[in-house]
Amino acid sequence: MRTRIHGARLFDGEHIRGITDVVVEDGIVAAVGTEAGGRADAEVDGRGGTLLPGLIDAHTHVFDGSLAEALRYGVTTEIDMFCLPRPLARHRRLAADRDDVADLRSAGTIATAPGGHPTQLIAALTGTVLDPDDVTEIDTVTDPARAPGFVAARLAEGSDFLKIVIDDGTVHGTDLPAMTFKAAAALTAAAHDAGLRVVAHAITASEAAIALDAGVDGLAHVWADVPPEDPASRRLARRVREQGVFVVTTLAYFEAIDAGQPDTAGCAHPGHYANAVGALRALHRAGVPLLAGTDATPFAPAHGSGLHRELALLTGAGGLRAEEALAAATSAVADRFGLADRGRVAPGLRADLLLVDGDPTRDVSALENVTALWRRGVRQPR
């Protein structure tokens, strides 16, 4: 099946390319622009619309139904930051076998201290969104000497990257055991030796500094404990840039809990959204690579629609240009997570595509007006 999308404005994952044609065949982008002529089995009228890569949410937690919900909103790939082994195997099979759900990459089992975040959430979720049969004991880490074995176990489970938790519970309004610097550094070194990227959950500036000391590749959140325009945020942002570390934005998560909406544990923790915005602005000014992510769960933010909200916050409170925000949800995520086959519209890449009415490079709210969607080259019914 050779399909030509005709006359749409093209955002290729980095830049707006103007009005052009794109041909999809055998699950990939076969041609763009002047090479997109010739025979076509189907024509899609894209006039008045914008074609862009399928969106990638750089921070989610996948539960049953999440991948289907994400795809409805044009999110064709989710980066899952923690999932228990049994449900993760189920989600992986679903994503591999079907095109009516989003694809995913996952950290699998998270690295945390005994009793540390997010172990306190699992009991709260068991019997509601977590089936008791899916719940297994989490492999935790205290002894740095155990780091190579922990990483080997994650590789055996098929983890695509390693996520470590450095969180003493401050932002959650509680007191939690936190991973030590030595354990974090040992895990990071072992993961790098095994060819895995390392992302750190850290929500305060001091936790982020520990993660940077440990040598991680990315931060799963902005920090949310430093007041906006505090020089400490600017200093930390410069350090993040100097170390080449990326940051996942998750403003939608902080907005949700600041508004009193419950997080995964059913708890609201108001007072952090303004600080998170301040950190985001400092990171943007410093030139840090930003990836759009939501921390989507079965609660708030929601899968799919939460990423639309994230992009609205990035271009509003966060001060990013629309093109920058769209790149943060497409090519930037693909680059930082090694997804060389997606995140852009170019010949030879996977045909995960989104056609919307209007121009999201001027106003990201146009993403709400999805007119056509392809996942792995298969057009999805709307």
Compare 192 and 127 and report the one with higher pLDDT: 192
- pLDDT over 80 (residue 264): no
- pLDDT over 50 (residue 263): no
- The answer to whether residues 325 and 311 touch, using CB atoms and an 8 Å cutoff, is yes
Most confident of 29-43, 152-166, 264-278: 152-166
- pLDDT over 70 (residue 41): yes
How far apart are the C-alpha atoms of 53 and 120, rounded to whole Å?
37
pLDDT tens digit string along 133-189?
777 778 888 999 999 999 999 999 999 999 999 999 887 778 889 999 999 999 999
pLDDT tens digit string along 200-251?
999 999 999 999 999 999 999 999 999 998 999 999 999 999 999 999 999 9
- The answer to whether residues 107 and 86 touch, using CB atoms and an 8 Å cutoff, is no
Q: What is the pTM of this model?
A: 0.95
pLDDT tens digit string along 335-373?
999 999 999 999 999 999 999 999 999 999 999 999 999
Token readout for 106 is 């996952």
Instruction: Kindly state the percentage of the chain with pLDDT values over 90.
Output: 83
How far apart are the C-alpha atoms of 270 and 272, rounded to whole Å?
6
Q: How confident is the model at residue 79 (pLDDT cuts 50, 70, 90)?
A: very high
pLDDT of residue 169: 87
List the beta bridge partners of residue 106: 80
Q: Which domains does the chain have, with CATH numbers?
A: 1-54+343-382 (2.30.40.10), 55-341 (3.20.20.140)
